[in-house]
Amino acid sequence: MRLVVSGGGTGGHIYPALALIDQLKKEGKLDAVLYVGTHRGLESRIVPDAGIPFQAIELQGFKRSLSLSNFKTIQMFLSSVGKAKKVLADFKPDVVVGTGGYVAGGVLFAATQMHIPTVIHESNSVAGLTNKFLSHFVDKVGIAFPEVAAAFPAKKVVMVGNPRAQQVAGLQPNDRLAEFELDPKRRTLLIFGGSRGAPAINRAVLASVEAFGDSDFQTLFVTGRAHYDAVMAEVGTLPANFKIAPYIDDMPAILPDVALVVSRSGATSLAELTALGIPSVLIPSPNVTHDHQTVNAQSMADAGAAVLLTEPDLPAKFTQTITALLADDGRLNAMAKAAAKLGVPDATDRLIAVLEDVIK
């Protein structure tokens, strides 16, 4: 299979694409691959670092209000479609996959005009603007949340899950927590706010250090690189059962040894948590398009797999919610089972089957 993938801007668009590429390689089904993104997006660093051929196209997203810059965006979109056609003509893909982000708009639209088989993947519970636009032209739409199906033409929708889930589904407990001077056998709370960190979560954790230090569980708090120095300057002397790290490069590797996760509710994180059956307290970012993280988190909470807290809830509820959960084995076990039921451990295989179907 000759594959072109396009998607970017956030990890939620990039990591499902990398998972798809990785699985195709493992199965010996990938003859050649090209990832098309922008110079400005995270994909320009993450994709080449993964050893995947990368090509950039200049493009920008539409403003959601009336703006003169949208006229420039239309010009750039039309220009990007022309450039994408040249890229596709040179590469000659069997199929083109879009995982979201405005860069996918030009590439996938160009592919549909060239009658190349096309598939888009929506990893969130609320459809992105680009994917909603593209769904009218592409052959199939893979989704990870049933709630988003109504946003797309029904005959094109296939429930596949998030490919990231299959990458982590087989992970087993290990001793990685020892790298942070924690006991791998002790009940562990993991708190993180994404790669950049989340100031609101960090403030709530700092207010909880003493309470967590007096507990019978241990805590690993990941601040985000940008906030680490400020947190360390404020925190003072730490309890022996409370450790802080700026960032963890391979976060999924430690998840099997974690009893409870406190995090944002991005699609990639939720795919990992459900694949491994880990209970969570989810604190959605209020600064994302269409507030999709709240919808993601509500879906998990409705299934009994998570507790949803909003940022305004944190001062009053953060410490008590976490300590109560970690003292309740029955509820943690029930949440873990509910999370596992939401997982799709064969998500990548399902998506590959869709690709093979549209190529026929």
Q: What is the pLDDT along the chain (360 residues), one digit of tens a residue?
A: 999 999 987 788 899 999 999 999 999 999 999 999 988 888 999 999 999 999 998 764 444 444 555 556 666 677 788 889 999 999 999 999 999 988 898 899 999 999 999 999 999 999 988 899 999 999 999 999 999 999 999 999 999 999 999 999 989 999 899 999 999 999 999 999 976 789 999 999 999 999 999 999 999 999 998 899 999 999 989 999 999 999 998 889 999 999 999 999 999 999 999 999 999 999 999 988 778 999 999 999 999 999 999 999 999 999 999 999 999 999 999 999 999 999 999 999 999 999 999 998
Residue with tokens 């410490």: 319
* Residue 11 marked in a binding site: yes
Binding residue per annotation — 28? no
- Whether residue 60 contacts residue 76, with contact meaning beta carbons closer than 8 Å, is answered with yes
Residue type, 153: P
Find out whether 170 is annotated in a ligand binding site. Answer: no
- Rounded to the nearest angstrom, the gap between the alpha carbon of residue 184 and the centroid of all alpha carbons in its chain is 26
124 marked ligand binding residue = yes
Q: Rounded to 10 degrees, what is the CA torsion of 150, 156, 161, 167?
A: -150
- DSSP state for residue 63 in the 8-state scheme: P
